[in-house]
Structure 1
Amino acid sequence: MATSTMDVLHFQHTPFYCEENVYLLCKKLCSDGVAKAEGSDLFVVFISNEKKQIPLWNQKASKRADGVILWDYHVICIQIKQGNVPPLVWDLDSTLPFPSPLPLYVSETIRPSFQLFSDYNRQGTFFVHAPLFLRSFASDRRHMKDSGGKWIEEPPPHEPIIAEDGTVHNLNEYINISVADAITDVSISSVKDVIFTQKNGVVIKDNQLEEFICQLSSLE
């Protein structure tokens, strides 16, 4: 089944605030009926490493022909649909089709076969079920201010995101990724026990991403 594309301009996007962009994207996918009402078919994925240096290709912010850029972290949404539709990646910063089938996104943006210096290895991804993320995530944007309190990059026009429990900032809990925290068992039983209950999700190794999603697809 072919994957239909959508107009990326239909979604709010503030450069360098990918975590808030994805938060709003998830809400809009739900409200527009593109995703399930509670977002149960959506997963938020934080990509980073311990050194906060990850290369990703086909990114709009890049000044290179191949679209490669070095992010400290990046956030995308993955939608797992039923039927013959492959898992879809929603990345507002990508030049690839929007959304992109997961195999295309992995091969063209993450490029797991590309040999990287050790400092740039994408050691893991934080995988969070969207309903939990929408209730638990918070950011007062402190990470985007310099030591004098000035904005490093202009903030989004909407108010900062506050979690349901009143937490005002917990972004670091999602972007501090260590390969030592990665789960080793991505079987269905292991997935069920953690991904739908832990508000901060689970850390998985990059080379297990597609296998992990395949396990989740079988639960749908």
Structure 2
Amino acid sequence: MVKIPLWHQKASSRADGIVLWDYHVICIQRKGRDDSPSPHLVWDLDSSLPFPCPLARYVSETIRPDFQTFSEFQRYFRIVHGPVFLRCFASDRRHMKDSVDNWLHQPPLYQPIVAEDGTVHNLNDYFDIRATDAVTGTGADMTNEVFTKKLGVVITESQLEEFFSQIP
């Protein structure tokens, strides 16, 4: 499994806060109204940056697009609308156990997450991303897929800020 670097992460023991994640989940919130837009905010529970953090700052300091990585470490983002994600995502926590079913870390106190349709585990569907999954271009079709498809869309690092600037 490929891991990608993110900076300013609380789990790091380094001064720059770098962590190599195999997947990472954040929430990006559109704040303001159409007639009074304000910056999108990133809610990252693992970040040491301000909480929430303006998207431009988060991209600049956490994703660091100026940092050159090998091509196999290209970062992709699966964008799923919050309500769709909450209805469709499921995790029975199997990814938190070793090969003999022992917990790697103490599980959360809340119950495992079950999707609206009864699915008990689909975490792999969300973080299994290939370069060929990334959509090209932008526009209404891509936005519509984010708001309607269970797995949303996959975009490249270079599309991230532009994509959110187009969300109605």
TM-score normalised by structure 2 residue count: 0.94
CA distance in 1, matches of 2:23, 2:2: 6
Cα displacement (A) at 1:78:
0.2
Is the aligned partner of 1:215 residue 2:148?
no
Q: 1:130 aligns with which of 82, 88, 92?
A: 82
| DSSP 3-state at the match of 2:84 | helix
Cα displacement (A) at 1:153:
1.5
Q: 1:70 aligns with which of 16, 20, 23?
A: 20
What stretches of structure 1 of length at least 5 have no aligned partner?
A: 1-50
Cα displacement (A) at 1:129:
0.2
Is the aligned partner of 1:180 residue 2:132?
yes
Cα displacement (A) at 1:154:
1.3
Q: Deviations over 1:49-100 (max 9, x none)?
A: xx43010000000010000011111000000122242000000100000000
Is the aligned partner of 1:139 residue 2:65?
no
Alpha carbons of structure 1 residues 116 and 141: separation in structure 2 relative to 1, 3 Å: same
What stretches of structure 2 of length at least 5 have no aligned partner?
A: none
For 1:199, give the aligned amino acid: K
1:45-64 superposed matches below 5 A: 51-64=1-14
Is the aligned partner of 1:93 residue 2:46?
yes
CA distance in 2, matches of 1:127, 1:190: 14
After TM superposition, what 4+ stretches of structure 1 lie above 2 angstroms from structure 2? 117-121
| DSSP 3-state at the match of 2:24 | strand
Q: Deviations over 1:86-131 (max 9, x none)?
A: 0000001000000000000000000001011233221x11100000
Q: 2:103 aligns with which of 151, 174, 177?
A: 151
Q: 2:67 aligns with which of 103, 114, 121?
A: 114
For 2:71, give the aligned amino acid: S
Q: Which residue of 2 aligns with 1:104?
A: 57
Percentage of pairs with the same residue: 61
Alpha carbons of structure 1 residues 192 and 66: separation in structure 2 relative to 1, 3 Å: closer
